[in-house]
Copies of this chain bind each other. A is one copy, B any other.
Amino acid sequence: MPDSVDPDFAVAESMPEQLRLQNQLCFPLYAASRLVTRLYQPQLDRLGLTYPQYVVLMILWESAPLTVNEIGQRAMLSSNTLTPLLKRLEAQGLVSRQRDSADERRVVISLTEQGLALRGECECIPQTLFEQAGLNVEEALELKRLLDALLPGLERAVEGTA
């Protein structure tokens, strides 16, 4: 044992390699996700949106009207998260919520004229942020490819343990 004066020597010395933050895949994933959300914020603030609200709107812009569950499948969120989020979007006049008369259990979410109009405001956001983050196109595509390949296995694993 070297005559180190570092009081944490004993702790660091016995730290198993696989538990070091630097060796974990989960941490950069967690950090990158939060950083990207923070990068979106200034753009979304101007529109009065949060990042999860923006995700839900992107889903609706693509396929509205949708039920809460259908949005949930696409966003991987369930009603405990979506119901209050959708109520906030409704309060902002961006979506409307109405029970499906054919099946009263369902709530159908539609875009209002205002909600649809917001799409135009958002068109430039991805490109702006892409440049702001100084992303390399090839690396970004490769990253997306790997993440898309990872997701099905993760979903299966999460279901399996539930």
B35 touches A155 (CB 8 A): yes
Contact of A30 among B36, B61, B127 (CB under 8 A): B36
Question: At the interface, yes or no: A154 with Cβ under 8 Å from chain B?
Answer: yes
Q: How many Å lie between the Cα of A63 and that of B7 in the bound state?
A: 9
Cα separation A139 to B116 with both chains bound (whole Å): 39
A interface bracket (residues with beta carbon within 8 Å of B): 35 or more
Q: Does A64 contact B (CB under 8 A)?
A: yes
Give residues in A with beta carbon < 8 Å to B. Answer: 7-8, 11-12, 15-16, 18-21, 23-40, 42, 51, 55, 58-59, 61-65, 74, 76, 111, 116, 119, 122-123, 126-127, 129, 132-135, 139-140, 142-144, 146-151, 153-158, 160-161
